[in-house]
Amino acid sequence: MFHKVTKAAAALALTTGLVTPAMAELSGTLRIISDMSNPAPRAIMEGMASDFDAMHPDLSVELEVVDREAWKSQIRNALTANPPDVVNWYAANRMGPYVRAGLFEDISDMYTNGDLQGLDSVKGAMTMDGKQYGVPYTYYQWGIYYREDIFNELGLTEPATFDEEIANCQKIVDSGRKCYTIGSKFLWTAGGWFDYMNMRTNGFDFHMKLATGEAEWTSDEVRATFANWRKLIDMGAFIDDHQTYSWQEALPFFVNGEATAYLMGNFVVPHLREAGLGDDQIDFYQFPKIADVPMGEDAPTDTFHIASNAQNKEAARAFLQFVTSPDVQSKINAADGLGQLPVNANASVGDDEFLQQGFNMLSNNATGGIAQFFDRDFPAEMASIGMEGLQEFMVFPDNLEDILNRLESARQRIYK
């Protein structure tokens, strides 16, 4: 819980341009439940709550931080029994059950009346049936991190198309290296590969139809995705025995130069730096184009939502506006904060080259839409069965027919 600060402190906040006079009229109590329970994110959440509290003399902000994993089973009860005003959750299909149950407030008017600006690139992740049900506050890019020094040695340039990717890969394989490291022991990394192969082959909209059970796993579109993926498998692009490694255990192949690239989220960068690779040895590029479809991207997004039965919706809306403002976005996502990407296109990302590249890609080049990653976009049971099949395909590609029939059978049962 955050206690009231002095009116002088609140007045100081007002004079710094952080709030408008109208926002200062908020009163009552604003209750927030957050699952930002790890130390660094918790400090960020506490700081935001405290700053917002200080800006509003007549408002009391109460923050409850809960365990992130426990929150997944607690959120529904929290939204029905004694709902707070604002809660943390996730974007896109992960918010679907709470939207359909009427537990998340429709805030579409905030996107149309000017309250929320600079969010065009992430608005889609908050949209269901043409309406918006919350705001994002942080996300991070996925893409291909590669050994720039080895690319230079082999005379390779960043590929823009899948044909160029395959041509590069052949030269890498011919040099005695693998194109990609991956650790698929815990399955989700194979999900990342499927996300990109499917979004690049069939587009973001089809990928979402598959995630929501509207498309069949045995369709020609999905078969085309696996056919493209198999081109890389058959040429020996991936490290051997990747099913025996975690994603961290696959890092040494990249660090030692035995593999030249890693399809991974930006959280991999600190590990590469800690392993001794300099930024002059690492670079990043957007997953190349395959078909003539808009470029969808995986960018897992954390969000804030207003409970439908919130007691202080006026303060809750003001908090969402505050959280997504350029200054706050720049502050909380900085390298000494969350170290991720601001969702507001008018925010700044500091001087980290990978954050800058990711910010530019997601703000300007994610023309297809923002996906949340396989195990967030698909229902939990479908995600589990699906990722088992994806890993199996990477190891035993000849099993494709059995895998697709198994996944289609699961789709018909799970989405019924």
Does the residue 397 lie in any domain? yes
Host domain of residue 173: 142-298+379-414
Q: Are residues 161 and 226 in the same domain?
A: yes
User: 4: pLDDT confidence band, cut at 50, 70 and 90?
Assistant: very low
Assign 3-class secondary structure to the chain: CCCCCCHHHHHHHHHCCCCCHHHHHCCEEEEEEECCCCHHHHHHHHHHHHHHHHCCCCEEEEEEECCHHHHHHHHHHHHHHCCCCEEEEECHHHHHHHHHCCCECCCHHHHHCCCCCCCCCCHHHHEECCEECCEEEEECCEEEEEEHHHHHHHCCCCCCEHHHHHHHHHHHHHCCCEEECCCCCCCHHHHHHHHHHHHHHHCHHHHHHHHCCCCCCCCHHHHHHHHHHHHHHHCCCECCCHHHCCCCCCHHHHHCCCEEEEEEECCHHHHHHHCCCCCCCEEEECCCECCCCCCEEECCEEEEEEECCCCCHHHHHHHHHHHCCHHHHHHHCCCCCCCCECCCCCCCCCCCHHHHHHHHHHHHHCCCEEECCHHHHCCHHHHHHHHHHHHHHHHCHHHHHHHHHHHHHHHHHHCC
Q: Are residues 46 and 130 in the same domain?
A: yes
Give pLDDT tens digits for 144-164: 999 999 999 999 999 999 999
Q: What is the mean pLDDT of the chain?
A: 92
Give pLDDT tens digits for 345-355: 999 998 899 99
With a cut of 70, say whether residue 396 has pLDDT above it.
yes
Q: Are residues 259 and 404 in the same domain?
A: yes
- Per the CB < 8 A criterion, the answer to whether 353 and 365 are in contact is no
The stretch 34-49 carries a mean pLDDT of 93
Q: Are residues 147 and 132 in the same domain?
A: no
Q: Are residues 220 and 308 in the same domain?
A: no
Higher local confidence (pLDDT), 15 or 121: 121
With a cut of 90, say whether residue 168 has pLDDT above it.
yes
Q: Are residues 279 and 393 in the same domain?
A: yes
Q: Are residues 134 and 150 in the same domain?
A: no
Q: Are residues 393 and 264 in the same domain?
A: yes
User: 17: pLDDT confidence band, cut at 50, 70 and 90?
Assistant: very low
With a cut of 90, say whether residue 3 has pLDDT above it.
no
Higher local confidence (pLDDT), 10 or 318: 318
Q: Residue 218: which CATH number?
A: 3.40.190.10
Give pLDDT tens digits for 196-240: 999 999 999 999 999 999 999 999 999 999 999 999 999 999 999
Higher local confidence (pLDDT), 93 or 318: 318
Does the residue 373 lie in any domain? no
Q: Are residues 62 and 155 in the same domain?
A: no
With a cut of 90, say whether residue 178 has pLDDT above it.
yes
Count the domains in the chain: 2
Q: Are residues 118 and 254 in the same domain?
A: no
According to the model, what pLDDT value does residue 24 have? 53
pTM: 0.85
Does the residue 371 lie in any domain? no
Q: Are residues 403 and 256 in the same domain?
A: yes
Higher local confidence (pLDDT), 397 or 94: 397
Q: Are residues 228 and 312 in the same domain?
A: no
Does the residue 370 lie in any domain? no
